[in-house]
Structure 1
Amino acid sequence: MNIAVLVNLRARRGSEGMGGLVQRFLPRARVALTRSVDEARTWIDQQLRPNPPSLLLAGGGDGTITGLLNEIRAQGLALPAIGVLPMGTGNAWAHVTGAPRPAVALKQLAAYGERLPPLRPFSLVRVEGRLAPFAGTGWDAEMVQDFKNQLAATGPLLGAQSGLRGYLGAMFTRTIPRHLFGSGSANVSVYNLGAPALTVDANRAIRPLPGGDTGALLYRGPASVAGAATTPEWGFGFKAFPFAQAMPHRLSVRVYGAGVLEATRNMFKLWRGEHPLPKMHDFLVERVRMDFDREVPFQMAGDVIGMRRSITFELAEESVQLVDWHRLSSLVTA
């Protein structure tokens, strides 16, 4: 099997030692240890273009993997099967696919032999010409930026302030206070630009949305968080989009209109993806546009892109096959 491996050395758990670990378990794999998008781009052009891999292992977080997919696509190459090695912070795709620690993942692949491991298909969100498993605006984007600002300011406390503890710290010391004493959430108008919209009723059954025809206004009101996804999680097991794979060929779009105090009280229900929740609006769509009454922070796959006043989310034509680590683990340990 033709395997290539990219490790982002800037990822939370990225290290040069991964190169030796890969060579130990997969001695014929091509390995790249990169520190920048430019280095990854050059490696794709010089190594993957002449000899496309059947399996590409990506060591990093969701931002690393999303960036890698978009660079491969930008160079006109077909997307290979991807194996996620969890080295980032949130690791949403890694958690959903059951990815173990990198050393265990490499050992499992070696034990499986010269065969493509079991794969799981994932659709993708397309926004502004780029692909991602999830993208959104509001508190999630603010919290990511607050987390990064916190890391930049902590210096020697970096280890203690990283990971889930760091995200929660940023949320409670920066994001929540800003909303408590600030101007509150932006208002959004959500328009359906694709086939008639579907929704999820109180029993979690998928139903046509009354008044959800093409061109219809699906929602207008406050939006503490508004986004779209094709994967259920944001990271750390947070099921922000529990219906992301409930209907094939549809995006899961959610708008949460509650204020910061109500959201804080319901934090664990939100985390578990409980349904229904007051002021949570779920739509299953092909394409939507969100217009905000002011600029809002915008993130894709956990990377803050900037501020936006209007965003169009659509289901991408492309999809990606990810290694199903749950299944692989059961096969190699059976």
Structure 2
Amino acid sequence: MVVNGNAKSVTDDVISTLDQILLGGDLFVSRRIEDARQIAETLVERGYGTVLTGGGDGTFTTVVTEVVHAARRRERKLPRFGLLKLGTGNALAWVVGASQAKGRGLSADIQRLQNDAGSREIRLVEVEGYLTPFAGLGADAQVLADYNLTKRRLSKTPLRAVAAGPVSYAVAAVTRSLPGYLLKKMPHFRVINDGAPAYRVGEKGAIIGRGIEPGETIFEGPARLCAMSTIPYYGFGFRMFPFADERGDRMHLRLSTISPTIFVRHFGAIWRGDFHRPDVLFDYLVEKVVIESDPPMAFQIGGDAHGERARVAARITPEPIRLVDFYAPPSAS
């Protein structure tokens, strides 16, 4: 098991509890990307059948990426992957039913794993060498950057106990992100299909128009965000990508021109993934794309900030990984 020593819920008590449950030798604590690379080599060398991550979506992204790369270098079989809900957003936890890190949640999930929990196949987004459930340019990444700044500032105040979590997101959105949207001009995006035919989708996943062939432009114009995912959720249960499960060989690409006024007015439906307005939401099922942004925009991978980008190439991974799914029935022995 690999835990992110910097994650919100990874306290000394949590590490001690995990160490006792896992009998020490199978617990690795990572605090830097260099740690993750070294740990991945060890995991592959030892031949673990399941690798469990403890942190958020960024921790999962880093560990899976490093383990997959190490396994390919050594021509080894990939392990199953799983996660414990120890980070901030935890989008994947909503997909696989991981428990809260408090109380008996950790022990219950580990017990389920030890009793051979079921699993499912899932493909990921491959971008800039990372394997991640989701990535995005624009508003979502800017909110993340604003959150990180707000979290650092709140951590130096009496509110430091709640600095990492929804409070900082709310403060960041109200004081920085929303005012920025009102004052800034929307960036210009151009998305080019670089893979198999892409399809625009509407309400209930209905295909709109003809397929978009390789080399054709999928979208061009102003937008507040351009993001892609192979799972329906962002953090905190926000169903940002309701069509991510429509096809196993496509990822959900979403561009949006939603104004702050529309977002606030229809917040509930947007949060549930039930808001459908083809004039402000542009949803596509794609295999591989090239995204251009003018000017360069904030960029996030798996919920971690990665600076700004003017161009991003992304694709759905050709092969799936196997992910522990606490909703699934136990595997047959």
* Per-residue CA distance 1:179-211 (angstroms, 9 max, x = gap): 212x32101112112222123233x14426426
1:32 aligns to 2:28 (yes or no):
yes
Q: Which runs of 4+ in 1 moved over 6 A?
A: none
The alignment partner of 2:51 has SS state of: strand
The alignment partner of 1:117 has SS state of: coil
Partner of 1:130: 130
Moved more, 48-57 or 87-96: 48-57
Letter in 2 for 1:74: H
Letter in 2 for 1:257: T
Partner of 1:85: 84
Q: Do 1:185 and 1:224's aligned partners in 2 also have CA atoms closer than 8 Å?
A: yes
Moved more, 93-102 or 52-61: 93-102
How far off is 1:28 after superposition?
Answer: 7.5
Q: Do 1:222 and 1:258's aligned partners in 2 also have CA atoms closer than 8 Å?
A: no
The separation in 1 between residues aligned to 2:210 and 2:258, in whole angstroms, is 23
Moved more, 157-166 or 133-142: 157-166
Q: Do 2:89 and 2:235's aligned partners in 1 also have CA atoms closer than 8 Å?
A: yes
Q: Which of 7, 26, 44 does residue 11 from structure 1 map onto? A: 7
The separation in 2 between residues aligned to 1:219 and 1:93, in whole angstroms, is 28
Q: Do 1:9 and 1:16's aligned partners in 2 also have CA atoms closer than 8 Å?
A: no
The separation in 1 between residues aligned to 2:39 and 2:190, in whole angstroms, is 42
1:95 aligns to 2:90 (yes or no):
no
Give ranges in structure 1 of 5+ residues lacking alignment: none
Query: Residues 196 and 32 of structure 1: is their aligned pair in 2 closer, same or farther, counting only changes over 3 Å?
Result: same
Query: Residues 195 and 42 of structure 1: is their aligned pair in 2 closer, same or farther, counting only changes over 3 Å?
Result: closer
The separation in 1 between residues aligned to 2:112 and 2:65, in whole angstroms, is 30
Letter in 2 for 1:96: V
Q: Which of 162, 165, 170 does residue 164 from structure 2 map onto? A: 162
Partner of 2:69: 74
Q: Do 2:193 and 2:214's aligned partners in 1 also have CA atoms closer than 8 Å?
A: yes
How far off is 1:262 after superposition?
Answer: 2.6
Moved more, 119-128 or 156-165: 156-165
Q: Do 1:225 and 1:255's aligned partners in 2 also have CA atoms closer than 8 Å?
A: yes
The separation in 2 between residues aligned to 1:297 and 1:33, in whole angstroms, is 29
Partner of 1:303: 304
Q: Do 1:59 and 1:85's aligned partners in 2 also have CA atoms closer than 8 Å?
A: yes
Q: Which of 40, 50, 59 does residue 54 from structure 2 map onto? A: 59
Task: Normalising by structure 2, report the TM-score.
Answer: 0.89
How far off is 1:116 after superposition?
Answer: 3.4
The separation in 2 between residues aligned to 1:105 and 1:29, in whole angstroms, is 18
The alignment partner of 1:306 has SS state of: strand
Q: Which of 14, 17, 20 does residue 16 from structure 2 map onto? A: 20
Partner of 2:234: 234
1:175 aligns to 2:177 (yes or no):
yes
Partner of 1:247: 247
Query: Residues 162 and 50 of structure 1: is their aligned pair in 2 closer, same or farther, counting only changes over 3 Å?
Result: closer
The alignment partner of 2:84 has SS state of: strand
Letter in 1 for 2:178: I
The separation in 2 between residues aligned to 1:23 and 1:152, in whole angstroms, is 29
The separation in 2 between residues aligned to 1:162 and 1:11, in whole angstroms, is 9
Moved more, 59-68 or 284-293: 284-293
Moved more, 189-198 or 20-29: 20-29
The separation in 1 between residues aligned to 2:210 and 2:112, in whole angstroms, is 52
Q: Do 1:232 and 1:243's aligned partners in 2 also have CA atoms closer than 8 Å?
A: yes
How far off is 1:63 after superposition?
Answer: 0.4
The separation in 1 between residues aligned to 2:202 and 2:162, in whole angstroms, is 41
Partner of 1:326: 327
Partner of 2:43: 48
Moved more, 59-68 or 32-41: 32-41
The separation in 2 between residues aligned to 1:255 and 1:122, in whole angstroms, is 23
Partner of 1:151: 151
The alignment partner of 1:159 has SS state of: helix
The separation in 1 between residues aligned to 2:317 and 2:131, in whole angstroms, is 7
Moved more, 233-242 or 213-222: 213-222
Q: Do 2:122 and 2:322's aligned partners in 1 also have CA atoms closer than 8 Å?
A: yes
Number of residue pairs matched by the alignment: 322
Query: Residues 167 and 280 of structure 1: is their aligned pair in 2 closer, same or farther, counting only changes over 3 Å?
Result: same
